[in-house]
Amino acid sequence: MSLQLPLINLMIRWQVKRRFRKNPDVNLLRPLMLQMEPRAAKLPADIACEALDLGGVPAERLSAPDTRSDAALLYIHGGGFVAGSPRTHRPLTWRLAKDIGVPVYAIDYRLAPEYCFPAGLDDCVTAYRALLEKGLPSKSIVVGGDSAGGNLTLALALRLKAESLPLPAALICLSPSTDMTGGGASLQSNAEADAMFVPEIMASLMPAYCPGADTKNPYLSPLFGDVSGFPPTLFQVGEREILRDDSVRMAAALKTAGAEATLEVWPKVWHVWQLNADMLPEAREAITHIVRFARQHLG
């Protein structure tokens, strides 16, 4: 364990979990993530950032000097479906672009509560179709996301399958939400250990993102979907997260369906710790694993 890990853990508990204890409302994520955006949005001088759209969905394309043009990573940011942007996730996405050696297309999908389900998922499907229309074969595309973006990554694969579109080469899911019913045991067993969230936050998520919807809808809760034929999928999650079992059970469901799933449960880290790569050795190590997985499946 690095010296930085317990210090950052304490800082997150003070800055984030303390607020959610007082007011367990997912909509608090928007002001919190807006505060982090100016620092997170800074890029190294050798990373190019181009604003564009994918079929009408706003996005940014991050690339390094030696980036290959025949493959891509489509990245779907997290933020509880109500917050975040490609800018808040640059500490992760620029590293993926540089180390994998492919452009990262980070999409700015529509957020709730202004745009409820399935608006964000529709944007993910549109963006993926646009990459195919650019001439990129599906075997040369990896799709990844964190938290809500991990949920959308899996839901996207279910939608592509239902619409008879080719699935990507691989999926990357970082601390994804996969079960909107709240059925994972870690939701309660990790209530104190989780450095960010409290279980009560889930009660505010459904009314904001998908009011009145069936929580077992596979496009909301991919755990209940037919995942047979899914591409190889990497899960990274923290042992102490309330969402830990969303990854554990989803990986098990994939394996039961005959799909390849790699599950990494990391000790003592917090939700989407990979975003702290500027300061945290464990985050940079996790990114190394992601890069190895992506490069393996892109050939």
Q: Which residues participate in catalysis according to the annotation?
A: 147, 241, 271
Q: What residues have CB less than 8 Å from 213, skipping those under 6 apart?
A: 117, 206, 220
Q: Does residue 211 have a cis peptide bond before it, meaning omega lies within 30 degrees of 0?
A: no
CA–CA distance, 236 with 181 (Å, rounded to integer): 21
CA–CA distance, 75 with 124 (Å, rounded to integer): 9
User: Alpha carbon 41 to chain centroid distance?
Assistant: 17
